[in-house]
Copies of this chain bind each other. A is one copy, B any other.
């Protein structure tokens, strides 16, 4: 037997559908007697309201669409956790869609959200600004995270990679390091690019000697790059890796070469993955959950009619551990 509808309830309670609707939504002008009859019918039929139909007539779904690219473990779960916390607290559900590819695929993924959600959170580091604007359903409020640009059209949130990278360089210089190596991330990744650029300008500003090695955010690339550097006989006393994974790889290369950390070489990463704490790696803490939470907060503001076109920069925090400074507090 198909699920009961509001008309079945009405029939059973011997009232009209309008009355059932009013009773269920707690409107005032329903007599106590009728309310009871309706409640009984609902229980007897096991009636559960059809949220889809409801949102069609209300023109409000109570859901927020989240479109993310392929993300590795920690980052994905943290950002979704932050969103969920804020969203569920205000009665919103999250409709998740992973945007694997760009172009037409992206357009479809975004369009699939129309009529299912009240607003969108989009994270698309791999899409061009124009491409993204064209793919977004018009008239659907959207907050953009770590996206290449389009900052004027939609409210957006970005991680302040520059401030993070600068903090690391300042720290290493303050420790008296004279020659700093930067293990950079992939060139298509906007975060990697910003960290690389900020590293260069901060090092230049300090007038400290530096060099940039190419990596791909994977542990192995960090190990390989540093091992090669040591083999070449290059002198250096500090490493700033564009993420923690590569920093860990670098650490292994240093150990293998018999170099002491931090005495001979100080090292710092970026992200503060859980592993970083365990091995005492200095890093830049990114409060990912907070990014997600803020995105929802701002979307909610838009949904309540407050227009918003500002960009929000999230300043990450330097965490000093024993890989760069032995005086760092034990954790």
Residues of chain B within 8 A of A96, CB atoms compared: 80, 84, 93-96
What number of A residues sit within 8 Å (CB to CB) of B?
A: 46
Per the 8 Å Cβ criterion, residues 74-104 of A in contact with B are 74, 76-78, 80-81, 84, 88, 93-98, 100
- The chain B residue with its CB closest to the CB of A83 is B96
Determine whether the beta carbon of B95 is less than 8 Å from that of A93. Answer: yes
A9-17, A52-60, A177-185, A190-198 - the one binding chain B: A52-60
Determine whether the beta carbon of A3 is less than 8 Å from that of B139. Answer: yes
- The chain B residue with its CB closest to the CB of A273 is B274
Q: How far is the CA of A278 from the CA of B243 in the complex (A)?
A: 17
Determine whether the beta carbon of A51 is less than 8 Å from that of B113. Answer: yes
For residue A111, CB closer than 8 A to chain B, the reply is: yes
Determine whether the beta carbon of A116 is less than 8 Å from that of B3. Answer: no
Partner of A51, one of B62, B94, B116, B275: B116
Determine whether the beta carbon of B95 is less than 8 Å from that of A63. Answer: yes
- The chain B residue with its CB closest to the CB of A111 is B48
Residues of chain B within 8 A of A81, CB atoms compared: 73, 76
Please list the 6 inter-chain residue pairs (A to B) with the smallest Cβ-Cβ separation, ordered nearest first.
A77-B77, A50-B115, A52-B115, A51-B115, A48-B114, A94-B96
Residues of chain B within 8 A of A307, CB atoms compared: none
Residues of chain B within 8 A of A56, CB atoms compared: 52-53, 56
How far, in Å, is A22 (CB) from chain B's closest CB? 19
Q: How far is the CA of A214 from the CA of B229 in the complex (A)?
A: 49
For residue A61, CB closer than 8 A to chain B, the reply is: yes
